[in-house]
Protein backbone atom coordinates (compact mmCIF):
# COMPACT_ATOMS: atom_id res chain seq x y z
CA UNK A 1 0.00 0.00 0.00
CA UNK A 2 2.90 2.32 0.70
CA UNK A 3 4.22 1.78 -2.81
CA UNK A 4 0.78 2.52 -4.28
CA UNK A 5 0.62 5.72 -2.23
CA UNK A 6 4.08 6.88 -3.34
CA UNK A 7 3.34 6.13 -6.99
CA UNK A 8 -0.04 7.87 -6.71
CA UNK A 9 1.61 10.88 -5.10
CA UNK A 10 4.25 11.01 -7.86
CA UNK A 11 1.62 10.80 -10.62
CA UNK A 12 -1.04 13.09 -9.15
CA UNK A 13 1.21 15.31 -7.08
CA UNK A 14 -1.26 15.64 -4.24
CA UNK A 15 -1.12 14.60 -0.60
CA UNK A 16 -4.72 13.39 -0.90
CA UNK A 17 -3.48 10.14 -2.44
CA UNK A 18 -1.23 9.48 0.56
CA UNK A 19 -4.07 10.26 2.96
CA UNK A 20 -6.43 7.95 1.08
CA UNK A 21 -3.90 5.11 1.23
CA UNK A 22 -3.26 5.75 4.94
CA UNK A 23 -7.01 5.68 5.67
CA UNK A 24 -7.33 2.46 3.66
CA UNK A 25 -4.55 0.88 5.71
CA UNK A 26 -6.10 1.99 8.99
CA UNK A 27 -9.50 0.65 7.91
CA UNK A 28 -7.93 -2.68 6.91
CA UNK A 29 -6.15 -3.02 10.24
CA UNK A 30 -9.38 -2.17 12.05
CA UNK A 31 -11.33 -4.82 10.14
CA UNK A 32 -8.60 -7.42 10.82
CA UNK A 33 -8.53 -6.62 14.55
CA UNK A 34 -12.32 -6.72 14.83
CA UNK A 35 -12.44 -10.02 12.94
CA UNK A 36 -9.77 -11.62 15.12
CA UNK A 37 -11.10 -10.24 18.41
CA UNK A 38 -14.62 -11.51 17.76
CA UNK A 39 -13.59 -15.16 17.50
CA UNK A 40 -13.85 -17.15 20.70
CA UNK A 41 -13.82 -20.91 20.85
CA UNK A 42 -14.79 -23.16 23.72
CA UNK A 43 -13.98 -26.85 23.99
CA UNK A 44 -15.46 -28.55 27.03
CA UNK A 45 -15.30 -32.20 28.01
CA UNK A 46 -18.51 -33.00 29.90
CA UNK A 47 -18.49 -36.59 31.03
CA UNK A 48 -18.76 -38.77 27.94
CA UNK A 49 -19.21 -35.95 25.45
CA UNK A 50 -17.16 -33.14 23.96
CA UNK A 51 -18.84 -29.79 23.42
CA UNK A 52 -17.39 -27.60 20.67
CA UNK A 53 -18.51 -24.00 20.37
CA UNK A 54 -17.24 -21.08 18.31
CA UNK A 55 -19.08 -18.03 17.09
CA UNK A 56 -22.70 -19.20 16.71
CA UNK A 57 -21.81 -22.83 15.93
CA UNK A 58 -22.20 -25.51 18.58
CA UNK A 59 -21.75 -29.24 18.32
CA UNK A 60 -21.96 -31.95 20.95
CA UNK A 61 -19.92 -35.06 20.16
CA UNK A 62 -20.09 -38.34 22.04
CA UNK A 63 -16.60 -39.48 23.00
CA UNK A 64 -17.43 -42.92 21.61
CA UNK A 65 -17.78 -41.25 18.18
CA UNK A 66 -14.18 -39.96 18.27
CA UNK A 67 -11.94 -42.05 16.02
CA UNK A 68 -8.71 -40.20 16.83
CA UNK A 69 -7.35 -36.90 18.05
CA UNK A 70 -3.85 -35.63 17.30
CA UNK A 71 -1.62 -32.57 16.99
CA UNK A 72 -1.20 -30.94 13.61
CA UNK A 73 0.54 -27.82 12.38
CA UNK A 74 -1.08 -25.18 10.19
CA UNK A 75 0.60 -26.25 6.96
CA UNK A 76 -0.38 -29.86 7.64
CA UNK A 77 -3.96 -28.79 8.39
CA UNK A 78 -4.17 -26.90 5.08
CA UNK A 79 -2.77 -29.88 3.18
CA UNK A 80 -5.16 -32.26 4.96
CA UNK A 81 -8.18 -30.11 4.13
CA UNK A 82 -7.19 -29.58 0.50
CA UNK A 83 -6.51 -33.31 -0.04
CA UNK A 84 -9.84 -34.17 1.62
CA UNK A 85 -11.63 -31.79 -0.71
CA UNK A 86 -9.90 -33.35 -3.72
CA UNK A 87 -10.76 -36.88 -2.55
CA UNK A 88 -14.33 -35.79 -1.94
CA UNK A 89 -14.43 -34.40 -5.47
CA UNK A 90 -15.35 -30.90 -4.33
CA UNK A 91 -14.67 -28.57 -7.23
CA UNK A 92 -15.35 -24.93 -7.89
CA UNK A 93 -14.07 -22.00 -5.90
CA UNK A 94 -17.25 -21.32 -3.89
CA UNK A 95 -17.95 -24.99 -3.15
CA UNK A 96 -14.36 -25.55 -1.97
CA UNK A 97 -14.45 -22.48 0.30
CA UNK A 98 -17.71 -23.60 1.91
CA UNK A 99 -16.45 -27.14 2.39
CA UNK A 100 -13.13 -25.92 3.83
CA UNK A 101 -14.94 -23.68 6.32
CA UNK A 102 -16.75 -26.73 7.72
CA UNK A 103 -13.37 -28.17 8.76
CA UNK A 104 -12.27 -25.04 10.62
CA UNK A 105 -15.56 -23.70 11.94
CA UNK A 106 -14.46 -24.39 15.54
CA UNK A 107 -10.89 -23.11 15.11
CA UNK A 108 -10.13 -19.68 16.48
CA UNK A 109 -6.91 -19.10 14.53
CA UNK A 110 -6.45 -18.51 10.83
CA UNK A 111 -4.70 -21.44 9.17
CA UNK A 112 -4.24 -19.62 5.89
CA UNK A 113 -7.02 -20.99 3.71
CA UNK A 114 -7.92 -17.46 2.74
CA UNK A 115 -5.17 -14.96 2.22
CA UNK A 116 -5.26 -11.22 1.82
CA UNK A 117 -1.46 -10.97 1.75
CA UNK A 118 -0.82 -13.20 -1.29
CA UNK A 119 0.68 -15.89 0.98
CA UNK A 120 3.24 -13.67 2.74
CA UNK A 121 1.38 -13.70 6.07
CA UNK A 122 0.82 -17.44 5.84
CA UNK A 123 4.55 -18.09 5.43
CA UNK A 124 5.36 -15.85 8.38
CA UNK A 125 2.81 -17.57 10.64
CA UNK A 126 3.97 -21.05 9.59
CA UNK A 127 7.53 -20.22 10.65
CA UNK A 128 6.62 -19.02 14.13
CA UNK A 129 7.88 -21.44 16.81
CA UNK A 130 4.48 -21.60 18.54
CA UNK A 131 2.65 -22.44 15.30
CA UNK A 132 4.30 -25.82 14.84
CA UNK A 133 1.82 -27.92 16.78
CA UNK A 134 -0.86 -25.51 17.88
CA UNK A 135 -3.85 -27.23 16.27
CA UNK A 136 -5.76 -30.39 17.07
CA UNK A 137 -7.14 -32.70 14.39
CA UNK A 138 -10.32 -34.40 15.62
CA UNK A 139 -11.63 -37.17 13.37
CA UNK A 140 -14.98 -38.80 14.01
CA UNK A 141 -16.19 -42.27 13.07
CA UNK A 142 -18.82 -40.82 10.72
CA UNK A 143 -16.09 -39.24 8.56
CA UNK A 144 -16.41 -35.71 9.92
CA UNK A 145 -13.19 -33.90 10.71
CA UNK A 146 -12.70 -30.81 12.85
CA UNK A 147 -9.62 -28.62 13.20
CA UNK A 148 -9.52 -27.15 16.71
CA UNK A 149 -7.25 -24.51 18.21
CA UNK A 150 -7.29 -24.92 21.99
CA UNK A 151 -4.96 -22.90 24.15
CA UNK A 152 -3.78 -26.09 25.88
CA UNK A 153 -3.76 -28.58 23.03
CA UNK A 154 -1.89 -31.41 24.80
CA UNK A 155 -4.35 -31.29 27.68
CA UNK A 156 -7.34 -31.56 25.34
CA UNK A 157 -5.81 -34.53 23.54
CA UNK A 158 -4.96 -36.26 26.83
CA UNK A 159 -8.41 -35.67 28.31
CA UNK A 160 -10.26 -36.94 25.22
CA UNK A 161 -7.95 -39.97 24.97
CA UNK A 162 -8.37 -40.84 28.68
CA UNK A 163 -12.14 -40.49 28.45
CA UNK A 164 -12.23 -42.59 25.29
CA UNK A 165 -10.20 -45.35 26.96
CA UNK A 166 -12.46 -45.25 30.01
CA UNK A 167 -15.58 -45.58 27.89
CA UNK A 168 -14.05 -48.42 25.86
CA UNK A 169 -13.05 -50.33 29.01
CA UNK A 170 -16.52 -49.78 30.53
CA UNK A 171 -18.16 -51.25 27.42
CA UNK A 172 -16.05 -54.41 27.64
Q: What is the pLDDT of residues 148-166, one digit of tens each?
A: 988 888 898 999 888 887 7
Confidence at residue 65, expressed as pLDDT on a 0 to 100 scale: 92
The model carries a pTM of 0.69
Residue 154's nearest CA partner among 49, 71, 73, 75 is 71
Give kind and range of the element (H or E) at residue 171.
helix 153-171
- Continuous segment of H or E residues that includes residue 148: strand 145-148
What does the DSSP assignment read for 35-63? HHHT--EEEEEETTEEEEEETTEEEEEEG
Q: Are 54 and 108 in contact (CB under 8 A)?
A: yes
Could you read off the pLDDT of 20-66 as tens digits, one per residue?
Answer: 888 888 898 888 777 666 557 788 888 889 999 887 889 999 999 99
pLDDT in tens, 67-96: 999 998 888 888 898 888 888 787 888 888
Q: Which residues on neighbouring strands pair with residue 66, listed in sequence order?
A: 140
Q: Are 17 and 5 in contact (CB under 8 A)?
A: yes
Amino acid sequence: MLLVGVIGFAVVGSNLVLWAVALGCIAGIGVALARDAGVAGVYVLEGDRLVLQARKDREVIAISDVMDVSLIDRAGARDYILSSLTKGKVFGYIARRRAAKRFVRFATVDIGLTSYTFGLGRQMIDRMPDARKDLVLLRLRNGTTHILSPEYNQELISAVSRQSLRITSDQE
